[in-house]
Chain A
């Protein structure tokens, strides 16, 4: 009898937590508890991971099998309240779709610069001012960040861009027209510059 009772207590049958989770996520967002909301976004350059805070876009990353590391970094450096909430990324997704379809030249998104500091942030903010259809050089953005001599450091800053595509580090090429490197691989840089009609020949 005892054995029977204990065995029965172990069996509560299957539960489906999916619906409960969806309701929870909606309430977490309504209550303003999702400090970081993220979702995957499809693009012609492969899957991206996009994340927003109440201040705006905080991270856009080429997934490349690094999704977990991207989320861990957000938990560590922004807030551990990281929640998957695709609806919160609708605006980001729509603007990226339009950009890749050739129907948008400038992004109209708030940006949250939390993941950048000091010189890196200044280089990236200088980069963000280069419009669609134009190119800049490493020297130009180093100068824009207040240190014209720090060309190599400017390259490192661009490599640490937490919001590629939207903060257009792909528009920075080397003096003399060589492409230079790119966070997501130089083929992606070529793709983006071809899309914008500025690929140096």
Chain B
């Protein structure tokens, strides 16, 4: 099974990866993590056994990199003057920044699951593959995540 040129993979999926990252960690950091994701993908690419679900493969890498970025941020809080303008409406923000702040505050697996389910319409089975978990666990993470969002975001 031969792999397509990496350029094709990049052009086909760059938008999906950037959307996933913007939803998971915010637009400010999404660009850096996009670099990390595609560099890791390019490094591993020649060893990839199958080229039939490249989007899932990229989202798996992106979700791990997003979790790393979250952990790094927790360890080293950004100085106040550099904080993301947050809920203040500006061009750089998502349509409803307060909601996305709440999404980003979810535990790693719930956040990943909620974003994959709604921003990407992934089936639970495919979510399980991306998240290395069972379909059932993916379903539960979406359920718990939504419950928390409903409580916190009104």
- A residues at B contact (CB < 8 Å): 1-2, 5-6, 8-13, 15, 17, 19-21, 23-24, 27-28, 31, 33, 36, 38, 71-72, 74-76, 79-84
Known: A12-B95, A75-B3. A21 touches B10 (CB 8 A): yes
Cα distance A74–B103 in the bound complex, in angstroms: 42
Decide: B6 and A82 in contact? CB cutoff 8 A.
Answer: yes
- B residues at A contact (CB < 8 Å): 2-8, 10-11, 14-15, 17-19, 22-23, 27, 30-31, 34-35, 38-39, 42-43, 45-46, 94-96, 99-100, 103, 114-115, 118-119, 121, 146, 149-150, 153
The one of B5, B94, B119, B121 in contact with A71, judged by C-beta atoms closer than 8 angstroms, is: B5
8 contacts between A and B (CB under 8 A): A12-B23, A12-B94, A15-B19, A17-B18, A27-B39, A81-B6, A82-B7, A83-B10
Decide: A5 and B46 in contact? CB cutoff 8 A.
Answer: no
The one of A8, A15, A27 in contact with B96, judged by C-beta atoms closer than 8 angstroms, is: A8
Contacting residues, chain B, for A21 (C-beta < 8 A): 10-11, 14
Known: A9-B119, A24-B34, A33-B39. A15 touches B150 (CB 8 A): no
Cα distance A170–B22 in the bound complex, in angstroms: 52
In this complex, what residue of A is CB-closest to B15?
Answer: A17
Contacting residues, chain B, for A28 (C-beta < 8 A): 38-39, 42
Cα distance A23–B18 in the bound complex, in angstroms: 13
Cα distance A33–B39 in the bound complex, in angstroms: 8
Cα distance A72–B2 in the bound complex, in angstroms: 9
Contacting residues, chain B, for A80 (C-beta < 8 A): 2-6, 45-46
Cα distance A36–B2 in the bound complex, in angstroms: 16
Decide: B153 and A5 in contact? CB cutoff 8 A.
Answer: yes
CB distance from A124 to the nearest CB of B (A): 24
Decide: B10 and A24 in contact? CB cutoff 8 A.
Answer: yes
Known: A9-B99, A79-B46. A24 touches B35 (CB 8 A): yes
Which of A8, A19, A31 has the most B CB atoms < 10 Å from its CB? A8
Decide: B35 and A11 in contact? CB cutoff 8 A.
Answer: no
Decide: B23 and A83 in contact? CB cutoff 8 A.
Answer: no
